[in-house]
Amino acid sequence: MSTCPFCGGAVQEYELTNMGGTIRASGCCDVSMDLIENYDVFEALPPPLQQAALEGDKAQQAAVFAKAREHAVAFQASRDRWMRTHAHLFKGEQTQWL
Ligand SMILES: [Zn+2]
The Å distance, Cα 14 to ligand 1 centre, comes to 13
Residues 6+ apart with CB under 8 A from 28: 4, 7, 9, 10, 11, 12
The Å distance, Cα 86 to ligand 1 centre, comes to 44
Average pLDDT, consecutive stretches of 10 residues, N- to C-terminus, the chain (98 residues): 93 92 93 95 97 95 93 94 86 60
pLDDT of residue 90: 77
Contact 63, 29 (CB under 8 A): no
Q: Is the pTM here over 0.75, yes or no?
A: no
The Å distance, Cα 3 to ligand 1 centre, comes to 8
E strand map for the chain: 14-18, 21-25
What is the separation of C-alpha 59 from the centre of its chain, rounded to a whole number of angstroms? Answer: 11
